[in-house]
């Protein structure tokens, strides 16, 4: 009996001691861990902080500083959720969807109609046409209708929107009375509603880029493309479709599904300005990643590749009004198509200035 009792007592003591030891060791481990966390605090924080994506360096701090100072001089799109009229809000939201996901509604597999090449308006008018210097629509409502030298006529918003459908989206236009065109127009007008008539919003459209003192170089541009663009837009320039194949993840830069040679981006200067301040995707215009030379050269390379052709015999009825980098003759000056396409542009500018000085009475 006694022996049994002693055994039970011994076992009881033993388990108490065991529990004590394990409690102490847990405490010790905890203490050691705590000391480690304390000593290596910075290293641990670094380890746990997610790394920024490799393509786009983290510029958020600078961007925040900018947002609170210089950035505020730029146009900011009004907020759709503030529209109290429900019907109007729904229409404007639909317009925004059509700009952001054009292909889903109007692309080759479009749910409404198949009238365009699968690109979205947003591919070139970033953030649904609201990004500063991302080719935004800030100044459209305030400046249209306006005379445009390309058509030699007064153009309204319908005409300008259909221009991009027919050229940038290599398709056909929408009826101005259609639900889709009305929604797009309402959205664009809503975006520019606070810009005074006749004025241009700060940061709208594309940011200016100085000319190089040489021609843009296709061969150098190819190197830029391989290094900085190909990972998304692909080696063959054809971009990449999503899994449902109804919208691009990375839009095409050339080939049969890209913009045609009548489009605004086919002008090397437009392409260079767009790329310099917006690509690789995600760059802020204040922190471009391409040098001016890289932007011009990659523009020359991409626009030297094959793409759909559009016959536009009625464009530029006054040939003297063709932009310097319009790549199709005839021209009012003696420069070649080659030089008008790739530059150097300064000699053309100088010749035009001289012409204007020599015959000041003649307004072109």
Q: Which residues lie near ligand HEC (CB under 6 A)?
A: 55, 102, 119-126, 135, 137, 139-140, 160-161, 164-165, 168-169, 184, 188, 205, 228-229, 231-233, 250-253, 259, 263-265, 270-271, 274-275, 279-281, 290, 298
Distances from the Cα of 212 to the Cαs of 297, 305, 358, in angstroms?
10, 21, 26
Report, in Å, the least distance between residue 43 CB and ligand HEC: 30
Instruction: Work out the burial of residue 12: count CB atoms within 10 Å of its CB; fewer than 13 is exposed, 13-18 middle, 19 or more buried.
Output: exposed
Q: Which is it for strands 248-250 and 240-241: parallel, antiparallel or unpaired?
A: antiparallel
Report, in Å, the least distance between residue 223 CB and ligand HEC: 11
Q: Which is it for strands 146-148 and 153-155: parallel, antiparallel or unpaired?
A: antiparallel
Rounded distance between C-alpha atoms, residue 163 and residue 161, angstroms: 5
Residue 333's CB is within 10 A of a number of other CB atoms, namely 17
Nearer to ligand HEC, 206 or 348 (CB): 206
Report, in Å, the least distance between residue 22 CB and ligand HEC: 53
DSSP string, 303-333: TTS-------TTS-SSGGGS-TT--S---SS
- In degrees to the nearest 10, what's the CA dihedral of 168, 169, 175, 177? -80
Report, in Å, the least distance between residue 257 CB and ligand HEC: 9
Nearer to ligand HEC, 131 or 339 (CB): 131
Report, in Å, the least distance between residue 264 CB and ligand HEC: 3
Q: Give, for 339, the enclosing helix (H) or strand (E).
A: helix 337-342
Nearer to ligand HEC, 12 or 145 (CB): 145
Report, in Å, the least distance between residue 110 CB and ligand HEC: 12
Rounded distance between C-alpha atoms, residue 156 and residue 66, angstroms: 35
Nearer to ligand HEC, 55 or 175 (CB): 55
Report, in Å, the least distance between residue 209 CB and ligand HEC: 13
Nearer to ligand HEC, 289 or 339 (CB): 289
Distances from the Cα of 7 to the Cαs of 10, 14, 74, 172, in angstroms?
5, 10, 86, 96
H-helix segments, 205-323: 218-228, 230-233, 268-278, 292-302
Answer for the pair 183, 94: CB distance below 8 angstroms, yes or no: yes
Nearer to ligand HEC, 228 or 339 (CB): 228
Residue 331's CB is within 10 A of a number of other CB atoms, namely 18
Nearer to ligand HEC, 110 or 205 (CB): 205
Nearer to ligand HEC, 120 or 339 (CB): 120
Report, in Å, the least distance between residue 237 CB and ligand HEC: 9
Beta-carbon contacts of residue 90 (< 8 Å; ≥ 6 apart): none
Nearer to ligand HEC, 28 or 341 (CB): 341
Answer for the pair 114, 108: CB distance below 8 angstroms, yes or no: yes
Nearer to ligand HEC, 35 or 242 (CB): 242
Report, in Å, the least distance between residue 47 CB and ligand HEC: 26
Report, in Å, the least distance between residue 167 CB and ligand HEC: 8
């Amino acid at each position: 009996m006694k022996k049994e009792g002693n055994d039970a007592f011994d076992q009881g003591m033993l388990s108490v001691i065991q529990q004590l030891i394990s409690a102490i060791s847990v405490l010790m481990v905890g203490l050691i861990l705590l000391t480690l966390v304390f000593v290596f605090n910075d290293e641990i924080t670094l380890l746990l902080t997610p790394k920024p994506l490799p393509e786009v360096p983290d510029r958020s701090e600078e961007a925040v500083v900018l947002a609170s100072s210089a950035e505020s001089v730029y146009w900011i799109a009004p907020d759709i959720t503030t529209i109290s009229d429900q019907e109007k809000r729904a229409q404007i939201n639909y317009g925004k969807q059509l700009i952001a996901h054009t292909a889903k509604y109007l692309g080759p597999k479009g749910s409404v109609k198949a009238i365009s090449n699968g690109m979205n308006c947003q591919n070139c008018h970033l953030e649904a046409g609201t990004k500063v210097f991302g080719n935004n629509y800030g100044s459209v409502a305030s400046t249209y209708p306006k005379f445009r030298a390309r058509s030699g006529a007064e153009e309204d918003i319908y005409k300008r929107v259909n221009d991009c459908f027919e050229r940038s989206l290599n398709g056909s236009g929408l009826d101005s009375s259609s639900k889709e065109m009305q929604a797009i127009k309402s959205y664009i007008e809503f975006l520019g509603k606070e810009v005074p008539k006749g004025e241009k919003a700060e940061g709208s459209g594309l940011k200016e880029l100085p000319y190089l003192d040489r021609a843009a170089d296709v061969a150098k541009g190819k190197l830029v493309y391989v290094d900085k663009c190909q990972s998304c837009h692909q080696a063959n320039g054809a971009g990449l479709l999503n899994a449902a194949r109804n919208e691009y993840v990375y839009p095409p830069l050339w080939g049969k599904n890209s913009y045609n040679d009548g489009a605004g981006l086919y002008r090397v200067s437009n392409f260079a300005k767009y790329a310099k301040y917006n690509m690789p995707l995600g760059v802020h215009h204040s922190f471009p990643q391409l040098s001016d030379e890289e932007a011009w050269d990659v523009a020359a390379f991409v626009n030297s590749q094959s793409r759909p052709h559009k016959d536009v015999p009625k464009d530029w009825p006054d040939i003297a009004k063709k932009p310097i980098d319009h790549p199709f003759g005839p021209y009012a000056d003696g420069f070649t198509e080659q030089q008008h396409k790739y530059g150097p542009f300064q000699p053309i500018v100088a010749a035009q200035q001289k012409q204007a000085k020599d015959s000041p009475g003649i307004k072109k």
